[in-house]
């Protein structure tokens, strides 16, 4: 979800957990060692944009005008190409049935109101029906669920694990499932709407008040001002519900998440938690102990509904979930939810948005999350360096601060919420992402994530309607120009790609495939930045260097973030690191593993080591010590 006001989010979260139940950062403990042997790479793809080769891209264009991609566009060929890029997991964004403006009434689906829908294709984070999939994505709408199940099967055949979104904090204002499993009811179906709050109400209410559509500002009009029978600044909701970002106003602001309503997890408006809390020290227990703890306990209705949704998709072969705005939901719910998922699939990949660093350990250890976005620290810092403002010296302290949970902090440079690297508001050039990508992908054991089109340097420049360019639109119909060229009339071979696009994709392919096959990148890490600042002439804060090693692989990694200057110096390894690497005095060949061209010699003498480095602008080396 686009975060328009992070301060508001933090404030709302604070209100909902209440001052009496203040969440304190858990103490750092012994490093949580990863159980897996190789790194993982997540490929996030915005499903409706992937296979669309229509290049009209008219602002506020209809599905017929701008076209749309389908589940069936992910052919065996397409999926094998993604797998060969160096990918282990594919995150299909926008799969659950969310509000759309396209008319599907002939299929028994009610129309959605433009006054509570962002864009024409709708936000994937305003889910209308969790037990079915977006009708836009199907060739045959009646068989849309079967088409997605076939895509899961094709993905698995290609060797890819499947991730989809679950958005626990909020649902669409007009949530209505057409395909509830037997015994399952819609959110809010049993709510007592005469109460602002009840532990088993799924929503919060303003009894006696009617919902009002926001007052539009800055020239905004739904559908760009196009005439539509439902675009009348009215939407019937009595009583009014609280809005997804926590606004309690019956008429939310235009900057609120007005298209959604907040889900109640048993937290009263004054912050009281009407459910069991985890015992002291339970952060160190595994998911089986958490599952046992909740077994037999009464939990709020919303907990059960979302647990059932997760297990429904798990049973269909979905391998994991990306949880939207997880920190706005009590951590105890995550203990309940994730332990149930893990009991069905111990290998499930559970990724969450949490932006408050003081909550990281809580949501990993007590909430049993596998991975959180490393946005507020690593991403924000690297972005600053890429823009030419920041110092690479600010990166090692972040890695040190997160060292005890480093495996759980997923690294990325792009996703649907963030600006494209090549956009003028970010770096203005996809090439500036190359050294950053090497650092992001190799500095920890955590998974790496890339966003489709990142590997081609797409700039997200299209104005498709709702929202601003620099981010590829998640709200409207359209296509991604660089991706259209690679899709090449569904050949998925880059036949129309530019030379620069193919060269960039080749870089990503080399890097990602190296990472998923390297034992050193699942081993130990030591920073050599500070040591070289003190001891190496010409070393500077536009380069970053560190060492990764395992029993059978030793790597020196160095990246040059400067777009103009070549640097040359004698990079040094301190005596304690030489000892850890078990290097005897003598000369060792080192060779770059990305392009297999750059070679040098590591000289070890009297327990210290140095290697000559000549590194071009925006170049990186992964030097293997032989």
Angle CA(615)–CA(616)–CA(619) in degrees, nearest 5?
A: 85
What is the model's pLDDT at position 3? 42
pLDDT of 15 strictly over 90: no
Strands in 47-175 per DSSP E: 89-93, 96-98, 127-133, 161-166, 170-172
How confident is the model at residue 468, as a pLDDT? 86
Residue 437 CB-density burial (10 A; 0-12 exposed, 13-18 middle, 19+ buried): buried
Task: Assign domain 520-625 to its CATH architecture.
Answer: Sandwich (2.60)
User: Which tens digits make up the pLDDT trace of 367-418?
Assistant: 999 999 999 999 999 999 999 999 999 999 999 999 999 999 999 999 999 9
Bridge partners of 205, per DSSP, are 241
Among 252, 248, 161, 162, CA closest to 203? 248
Euclidean distance between CA atoms 512 and 14, whole angstroms: 39
CATH 3.20.20.80: which residues of the chain? 41-190+271-516
Q: Which of 165, 164, 163, 159 is nearest to 79 (CA)?
A: 159
Q: How far apart are CA 249 and CA 358, in angstroms?
A: 29
The pLDDT tens digits for 39-73 are: 999 999 999 999 999 999 999 999 999 999 999 99
Distance CA 437, CA 393 (A): 17
Locate tokens 């689906």: which residue? 109
The CA-atom distances, in angstroms, between 452 and each of 239, 420, 457 are 41, 11, 10
Residue the block writes with tokens 């998709």: 313
Please say if the pLDDT value at position 6 is more than 60.
no
Residues in the chain: 626
Q: What is the mean pLDDT of residues 419-445?
A: 98
pLDDT at 18 over 90: no
427: cis peptide before it, omega within 30°? no
Question: Sign (positive/negative) of CA torsion 371, 373, 377, 383?
Answer: positive
- Report the share of the chain in percent with pLDDT over 90: 94
Residue 461 and residue 458: Cα distance in Å, rounded? 8
**Which stretch of 20-24, 121-125, 147-151, 263-267 has the lowest confidence by average pLDDT?**
20-24
3-state secondary structure of 348: coil
In order, the DSSP letters of 463-506 are --SSS-TTS--SSS----HHHHHHHTTTT-S-TT--HHHHHHHH
The DSSP output letter for 364 is I
Residue 29's pLDDT is: 42
| Contacts for 354 with CB less than 8 Å, ≥ 6 apart | 326, 327, 360, 363, 369, 372, 373
Predicted confidence at residue 547, as pLDDT, reads: 98
Q: Which has the closest alpha carbon to 365: 39, 36, 37, 31?
A: 31
Q: What is the mean pLDDT of the chain?
A: 94
Strands 409-412 and 448-451: parallel
Residue 78 clears pLDDT 90, i.e. is over it: yes
Given a cut of 60, is residue 357 above it in pLDDT?
Answer: yes
The pLDDT of residue 430 is above 60: yes
- Are 476 and 121 in contact by the 8 Å Cβ rule? The answer is yes
Give the residue-averaged pLDDT of 168-188. 97
pLDDT over 70 for what percent of the chain?
94
Name the residue among 96, 135, 6, 98 with its Cα closest to residue 321. 96
| pLDDT (mean) for 589-618 | 97
Indicate whether this model's pTM tops 0.75: yes
How confident is the model at residue 7, as a pLDDT? 34
Tell whether the model's pLDDT for residue 13 goes beyond 90: no
Within 8 A by CB and 6+ apart from 535, the residues are 572
CATH node for 41-190+271-516: 3.20.20.80
Q: Do the Cβ atoms of 96 and 165 come closer than 8 Å?
A: yes
How far is the first Cα of the chain from the last one, in angstroms, to the nearest whole number?
46
Cite the residue boundaries of each domain of the chain with CATH code 2.60.40.1180: 520-625
Give pLDDT, residue 112.
98
Whole-number pLDDT of residue 23 = 38
* Contact status, residue 214 vs residue 258, Cβ threshold 8 Å: yes
Please check the confidence at residue 14 and state whether its pLDDT lies above 80: no
Query: Could you tell me the two tokens for 138?
Result: 């199907």
Quick one: pLDDT band at residue 35, thresholds 50, 70, 90?
low
Using pLDDT thresholds of 50, 70 and 90, give the confidence band for residue 37: confident
Taking the C-alpha atoms of residue 198 and residue 201, their distance in angstroms, rounded to an integer, is 5
């Amino acid at each position: 979800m686009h975060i328009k006001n992070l301060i508001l989010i933090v404030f709302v979260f604070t209100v909902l957990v209440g001052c009496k139940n203040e969440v304190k950062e858990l103490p750092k403990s012994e490093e949580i060692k990863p159980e897996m042997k190789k790194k993982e790479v997540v490929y996030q793809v915005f499903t409706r944009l992937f296979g669309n080769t229509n290049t009209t891209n008219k602002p506020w264009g209809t599905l017929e005008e701008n076209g749309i991609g389908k589940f069936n566009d992910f052919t065996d060929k397409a999926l094998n190409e993604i797998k060969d890029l160096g990918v282990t997991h594919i995150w299909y964004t926008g799969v659950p049935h969310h509000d759309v403006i396209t008319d599907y009434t002939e299929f028994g689906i009610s129309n959605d109101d433009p006054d509570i829908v962002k864009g024409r294709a709708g936000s994937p984070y305003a889910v209308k029906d969790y037990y079915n999939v977006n009708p836009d994505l199907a060739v045959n709408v009646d068989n849309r669920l079967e088409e997605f199940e076939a895509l899961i099967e094709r993905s698995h055949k290609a060797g890819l694990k499947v991730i989809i979104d679950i958005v626990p904090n909020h649902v669409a204002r007009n949530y209505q499932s057409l395909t509830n499993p037997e015994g399952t009811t819609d959110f809010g179906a049993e709510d007592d709407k005469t109460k602002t709050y009840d532990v088993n109400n799924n929503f919060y209410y303003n009894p006696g008040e009617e919902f009002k559509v926001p007052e539009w500002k800055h020239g905004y009009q739904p559908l760009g001002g196009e005439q539509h029978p439902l675009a009348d600044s009215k939407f019937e909701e009595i009583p009014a519900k609280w809005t997804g970002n926590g606004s309690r106003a019956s008429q939310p602001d235009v900057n609120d998440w007005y298209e959604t309503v907040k889900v109640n997890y048993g937290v009263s408006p004054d912050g009281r938690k009407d459910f069991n809390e985890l015992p002291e020290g339970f952060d160190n227990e595994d998911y089986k102990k958490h599952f046992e703890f909740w077994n037999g306990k009464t939990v709020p209705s919303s907990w059960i509904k979302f647990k059932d949704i997760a297990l429904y998709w798990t049973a269909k072969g979905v391998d994991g979930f990306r949880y939207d705005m997880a920190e706005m939901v009590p951590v105890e719910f995550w203990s309940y939810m994730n332990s149930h998922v893990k009991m069905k699939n111990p290998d499930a990949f559970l990724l969450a948005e949490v932006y408050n660093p003081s909550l990281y350990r809580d949501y990993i250890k007590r909430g049993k999350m596998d991975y959180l976005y490393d946005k507020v620290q690593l991403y924000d810092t690297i972005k600053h360096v890429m823009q030419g403002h920041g110092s690479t010296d600010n990166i090692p302290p972040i890695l040190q601060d997160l060292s005890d949970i480093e495996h759980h902090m997923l690294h990325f440079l792009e996703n649907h919420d963030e600006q494209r690297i090549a956009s003028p508001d970010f770096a203005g050039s996809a090439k500036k992402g190359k050294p950053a990508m090497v650092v992001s992908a190799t500095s920890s054991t955590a998974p790496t994530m890339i966003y489709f089109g990142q590997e081609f340097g797409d700039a997200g420049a299209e104005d498709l309607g709702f929202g601003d360019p620099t981010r590829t639109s998640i709200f409207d119909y359209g296509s991604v120009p660089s991706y259209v060229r690679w899709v090449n009339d569904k050949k998925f071979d880059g036949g129309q790609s530019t030379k620069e696009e193919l060269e960039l994709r080749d870089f990503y392919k080399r890097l990602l495939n190296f990472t998923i096959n390297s034992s050193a990148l699942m081993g130990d890490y030591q920073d050599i930045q500070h040591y070289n600042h003190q001891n190496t002439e010409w070393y500077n804060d536009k380069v970053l260097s560190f060492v990764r090693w395992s029993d059978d692989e030793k790597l020196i990694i160095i990246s040059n973030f400067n777009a103009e200057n070549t640097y040359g110096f004698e990079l040094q390894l301190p005596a304690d690191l030489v000892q850890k690497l078990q290097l005897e005095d003598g000369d060792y060949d080192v060779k770059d593993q990305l392009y297999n061209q750059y070679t040098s010699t590591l000289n070890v003498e009297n327990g210290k080591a140095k290697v000559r480095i000549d590194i071009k602008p925006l170049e990186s080396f992964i030097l293997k010590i032989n």
